[in-house]
Structure 1
Amino acid sequence: MLALIVALVLSTRIKAQTYTATYLPSNAPDHTQQGQYGTNECGSVSSQTSLCQNAYINSVDDFCLFAPPYSGPNATIGDTERVEVSWCLRDGYGTRLIPDGSITGAHFLQTPDYVQVTGVGDLTRLNIPAGDQGGELDPHGADGNGNPIGGLVFSNAFGQLQQLHEWTNYMSDTQFCFRACKPGPSATSFCQHIYDVMGCLWNMPGNYDAGVFERCSGDDGEPMGVYGTSTWKQNQPTTPSAHPAPSSSLCTTYSSIGNGLLVRSVSNATNATTTPTMTSATHSTMISATPGPTFGDSGITASNTATSSTLSGSRKVNSGTHTNFITGWQISLSASAILLGLALCF
């Protein structure tokens, strides 16, 4: 019986083992996950029709947010979490640009273990419907492929540009918060992703004031959900108060943030968007895109022409990302242990 228990433990441990591929924007493939709507091979030309799913969080005037690729009543964060695309303040990442004036307050905090940006604005200009209370995005999702599927996050805040594997981004029509954790033993604690209904103020207490743009250094504070030696779970009956915001210092204030290149970058672009429709396919997940509502903005001309395309989740998929793997000796060891356990039982 003991051998059977050992075999079951080994089998469970094998299933839990994962590895994660690491990329830079320069070597990221077209798709990093099966079933991905957009791309990670983004180039450097910004476009308001870009399907780039690479986000950057470097400073108060150099960060991105994940938001819907199309507008309309079916473009809530809950409806589009699997297909969000990257909207950035800086030109040159191959993403969409956050329209100037959309962000009315932003506060960047760098701690020893993570970078974080919190703020407010008119995020309906990023296709989020008015009145949408929003939701949470992270690299895991229900199936391990992430929300959005294939979304990658990069930062140069800790030195050289690198991929930050653990991150969490809450978006609504008026408020945002985005935290990405430095690789290390504390990354999963400070970038926890299980409190999806608790929102920004509970998960990332900090400054959300409008009319202020600042970059600060700060302490880590307490991991979300951890209170002393106890960890609160979202389905428990009593909800604890949010942790106090971590202390900050060495703040630099900016008069405004923006790209100033929005009109020039997209003046000749066709402002078409696509609404993804899931269809079944053999051995791979296919996403066929059908025309969705177009959107307009100052300096951008909305088009009545929508681009239709088909994106195959099996094209250029890198199986090394969030993929379970089992080596031959582990299979043999588990099989032997199970047979030994059965022999002892009978």
Structure 2
Amino acid sequence: TYTPDDAPDKSEQGQAGTNKCGTGNDQNSMCQNVYVNSLDDFCLFAPPNPGASSTIGDTERIEVAWCVQGGHGTRVIPDGTITGAHFVQTPDYVQVTGVGDFTKINIPQGDEGGELDPHGADGNGNPIGGLVFSNAFGSVTQMHEWTNFMAYNEFCIRACKGPNAAALCQHIYDVMGCDWNMPGDYSAGSFDSCHGDSGEPMGVYGTSTFHQGQPSTPDAHPAPPKSQCQQANTIAN
């Protein structure tokens, strides 16, 4: 387990970027530390370089951190990129869902995207060596289970803790997208921060577990109830 202060230069072999990121911000940063702290302080993984070849599927091993706020040693998401964002804190995870124009952070127009997680095919993560931290449960701590779907027009990220972390941040449904994996608010033009219930693990229905490729796909779980919502006009760095 790392903190941002003691993270090594690289936490996995074959890592394209770094976990020793400092406290500035730089639009050419190769930092691969993501934070999920609050509505106005979260990050997303996205490609390091622009271009038609920078689809999420083709760059998932080398994505870098893009953050709403400076100060994490990462790239900063340009103001106006995110046009709707909805933060939820539950007992077991923190989650942000929303929409925007993510061509501004190098995702090609029309790319339906894919899923990033700390496992990947070889256990080194997509991106390799990507770390996620959060202060939502107290002091800044590494979140060992997380999942982040990115597309050219939509995003969702969830970081989980506790005994149900692996199930609530399940990573095997990589073609199912945000709406199915993280049911929630994806509306544009609004920004809010809420408390919520943890909801059901994605893909688990009573005693049965759905697997991609089965002939029929079950409906997503309903979005869990939310409360204590606070509205914001926008988020910006």
Would you call these one fold, judging by a TM-score over 0.5?
yes
Q: Report the Cα offset of residue 104 of structure 1.
A: 0.2
Given residue 181 of structure 1, which amino acid in structure 2 is its aligned partner? C
Q: Paired residue for 1:196?
A: 174
CA distance in 2, matches of 1:168, 1:144: 14
Residue 13 of structure 2 is aligned to residue 40 of structure 1: no
Are 2:196 and 1:218 aligned? yes
Instruction: Indicate yes or no: 2:141 matched with 1:162.
Output: yes
The CA distance in 1 between the partners of 2:19 and 2:230, in whole Å, is 32
Within a 5 Å distance, the mapping from 1:295-314 to structure 2 comes to none
Stretches of structure 1 that go unaligned for 5 or more consecutive residues are 1-21, 260-346
Name the structure with the higher strand share: 2
2:178 match: secondary structure: helix
**Structure 1-normalised TM-score?**
0.68
The 5 Å alignment of 1:195-344 reads 195-259=173-237
Number of residue pairs the alignment of both structures matches: 237
Which AA in structure 2 matches 1:226?
A: V
Higher-RCO chain (CA-CA 8 Å, sequence separation at least 6): 1
Aligned partner of residue 174 in structure 2, secondary structure: coil
Deviations 1:272-310 (A, max 9, x none): xxxxxxxxxxxxxxxxxxxxxxxxxxxxxxxxxxxxxxx
* CA deviations over 1:111-140 (Å, ceiling 9, x no partner): 000000000000000000001000000000
Partner of 2:103, secondary structure, is helix
- Unpaired runs of 5+ residues, structure 2, are none
**Alignment partner, residue 165 of structure 2:** 187
Aligned to 2:38: 59
Give the counterpart of 1:128 among 107, 112, 115: 107
Deviations 1:134-154 (A, max 9, x none): 000000000000000000000
- 1:185 Cα offset (Å): 1.4
Q: TM-score scaled to structure 2, two decimals?
A: 0.99
**What SS class does the counterpart of residue 202 from structure 2 fall into?**
coil
Q: Which runs of 4+ in 1 moved over 2 A?
A: none
CA distance, structure 2, for counterparts of residue 71 and residue 241 of structure 1: 35
| Separation (CA, whole Å) in 2 of partners of 1:45 and 1:58 | 17
Q: d(CA) in 2 for partners of 1:133 and 1:186?
A: 29
2: CA distance between counterparts of 1:164 and 1:91? 20
Relative to total residues, which structure has the larger helix share, 1 or 2?
1
> What is the CA–CA distance in structure 1 between the aligned matches of 2:61 and 2:211, rounded to whole Å?
24
**How well do the aligned residues superpose, as a CA RMSD in angstroms?**
0.4
Letter in 2 for 1:178: I
Give runs of aligned pairs for residues 33-112 of structure 1, distance below 5 A.
Answer: 33-112=12-91
> What is the rounded CA distance, in whole Å, between the counterparts of 1:255 and 1:185 in structure 2?
35
Q: CA deviation at 1:60?
A: 0.7
Identity of aligned residues (%): 70
Which residue pairs with 1:116 in the alignment?
A: 95
Displacement of 1:236 in angstroms is 1.1
Matched, 1:172 2:151: yes
